[in-house]
């Protein structure tokens, strides 16, 4: 079986680019956003629409940052669970691992 790390490194697995476009709920909401933005474009003058666009971008940036943080924390939690499961029947090996980790800090 091919290494996941190798596949990510080669760009064969895309972590953030297009995963959501296959989700019907995402597609539906994305189309709603586009329609609403078009309605605002027709009703607002250029300056107000530009302000709205900046607001949308700032909000999207905050959501992106929050999603990355949630992913990172979830990944770390998953790795801690995997380590605990791996060392479950190897207490001496776990002790050695934790001791080495402590020495690194």
pLDDT digits (tens, 9 = 90+) for 43-91: 999 999 999 999 999 999 999 899 889 988 988 899 889 888 888 888 7
Local confidence band at 3 (pLDDT 50, 70, 90 cut-offs): confident
CA-to-CA separations, 19 to 15, 27, 77, in angstroms, rounded: 8, 11, 22
Residue in the block written with tokens 């943080």: 69
Listing DSSP states for the chain in one string gives ---HHHHHHTTSS-SSSSGGGG-HHHHHHHHHHHHHHHHHHHHS-HHHHHHHHHHHHHHHHHHHHHHHHHHHHHHHHHHHHHHHHHHTT-HHHHHHHHHHHHHH-
pLDDT at 85: 86
Contact 37, 56 (CB under 8 A): yes
pLDDT at 103: 76
**Domain coordinates in residue numbering, the chain:** 21-104
Local confidence band at 7 (pLDDT 50, 70, 90 cut-offs): confident
**Nearest in space to 15 (alpha carbons), one of 61, 54, 72, 91:** 72
pTM, two decimals, is 0.62
């Amino acid at each position: 079986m091919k290494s996941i790390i190798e596949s990510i490194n080669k760009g064969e697995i895309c972590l953030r680019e297009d995963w959501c476009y296959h989700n019907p709920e995402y597609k539906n909401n994305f189309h709603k956003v586009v329609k609403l933005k078009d309605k605002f474009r027709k009703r607002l003058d250029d300056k107000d629409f530009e302000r709205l666009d900046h607001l949308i971008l700032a909000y999207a940036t905050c959501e992106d940052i929050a999603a990355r943080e949630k992913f990172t924390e979830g990944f770390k939690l998953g790795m801690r669970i995997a380590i605990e499961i791996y060392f479950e029947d190897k207490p001496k090996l776990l002790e050695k691992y934790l001791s080495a980790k402590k020495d690194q800090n």
